[in-house]
């Protein structure tokens, strides 16, 4: 027994919801599954999303979760493997259907950077960098991206 019986509507709704599973060594650590999934993500079934849109949405959720653990002296950036490109302070993100995700930002010296990545090669390493000293508050791009997913009409 113990198995939950779902109506057809509940089963259909559940198929559109992303599933997340994580285990951390710290039992108090918050998992990505602990955050609410924006309506803009859950309204459209996964099978109706391009690879680019689906990769973008999940990356935004992880990005925001990483930012929640930063103090006011740090902002999110990403590192690059296998290249001397250094790190990119994430200031924007997007996707181009069907299969490209892009990150906009700058390097620690302030030079503009953009990464255009095919979803089949998407690997993102989030890093915490000290925020710009002149800035009053850290830029939290993950919160802006998540708000956009809540209002997304694509």
Q: How far apart are CA 48 and CA 61, in angstroms?
A: 19
Kindly give, in sequence order, each residue whose CB lies less than 8 Å from that of residue 74, ignoring residues fewer than 6 positions away: 128, 129, 130, 131, 138
Dig out the tokens for 3 from the structure: 């198995």
* Most confident range, picked from 21-25, 79-83, 133-137, 141-145: 141-145
Query: Which pLDDT band, with edges at 50, 70 and 90, does 32 fall under?
Result: low
- Domain ranges for the chain, please list them: 39-150
Residue 53 has pLDDT above 90, yes or no: yes
Is the per-residue pLDDT at 20 higher than 80? no
Tell me what percent of the residues of the chain surpass a pLDDT of 70: 79
User: How far is the C-alpha of 98 from the C-alpha of 113, rounded, in Å?
Assistant: 23
């Amino acid at each position: 027994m113990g198995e939950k019986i779902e109506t057809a509507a509940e089963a259909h709704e559940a198929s559109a919801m992303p599933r997340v599973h994580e285990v951390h060594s710290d039992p108090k650590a918050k998992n990505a599954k602990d955050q609410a999934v924006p309506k803009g993500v859950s309204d459209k079934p996964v099978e109706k999303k391009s690879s680019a849109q689906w990769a973008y949405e999940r990356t935004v959720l992880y990005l925001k979760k990483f930012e929640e653990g930063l103090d006011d002296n740090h902002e999110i950036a990403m590192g690059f493997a296998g290249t001397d490109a250094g790190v990119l302070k994430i200031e924007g993100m997007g996707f181009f259907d069907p299969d490209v995700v892009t990150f906009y930002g700058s390097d620690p010296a302030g030079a503009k950077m953009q990464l255009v990545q095919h979803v089949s090669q998407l690997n993102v390493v989030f890093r915490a960098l000290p925020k710009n000293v002149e800035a009053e508050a850290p830029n939290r791009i993950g919160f802006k991206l998540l708000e956009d997913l809540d209002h997304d009409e694509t």
